[in-house]
């Protein structure tokens, strides 16, 4: 459960998890992991370049992808709530990184950033 979300948003997230065969609480885990990741010292970001599409829990960029997929599955009101909850971590990540012009433009924004 993500603190501060309405009961409706929480129910929609639980339905998203069920519909996508995720464990109960997986989105909340992703939320916590993303928040922890953006607080790491700069040197700890090196492992983010590694990608493993088989396990969303292993790499922090994948937890951000899970959060984004969840956002797009929610109703407008719930989407606003979850986006507002994610925003502080995203802003911190943006503040600590710069755009990498060598990355493919079709990648999500969080995969096109490098740590400064």
The 10s digit of each residue's pLDDT in 38-84 is 888 766 654 444 444 445 444 456 889 999 999 999 999 999 999 99
Does the pLDDT of residue 27 top 50, yes or no?
yes
Give 11-24 pLDDT, tens digit per residue.
999 999 999 999 99
Is 92 a domain residue? yes
Does some domain include residue 2? no
Range of the structural domain that residue 19 is part of:
7-48+57-115
CA angle centred on 57, ends 51 and 62, rounded to 5°: 45
CB 24 within 8 A of CB 14: yes
Smallest CA-to-CA distance from 2 within 70, 57, 73 is with: 70
Judge whether 1 lies within some domain: no
DSSP assigned state of 89: H
Phi/psi for 31 (5° steps) reads: -60, -45
In total, how many domains does the chain have?
A: 1
């Amino acid at each position: 459960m993500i603190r501060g979300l309405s009961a409706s948003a929480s129910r929609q997230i639980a339905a998203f998890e069920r519909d996508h065969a995720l464990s109960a609480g997986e989105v909340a885990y992703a939320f916590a992991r993303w928040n922890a990741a953006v607080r790491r010292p700069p040197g700890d970001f090196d492992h983010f370049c590694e990608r493993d599409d088989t396990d969303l829990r292993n790499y922090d960029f994948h937890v951000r992808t899970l959060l984004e997929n969840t956002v797009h599955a929610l109703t407008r009101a719930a989407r606003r709530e979850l986006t507002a909850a994610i925003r502080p971590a995203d802003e911190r990540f943006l503040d600590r990184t710069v755009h990498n012009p060598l990355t493919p433009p079709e990648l999500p924004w969080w995969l096109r950033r490098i740590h400064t």
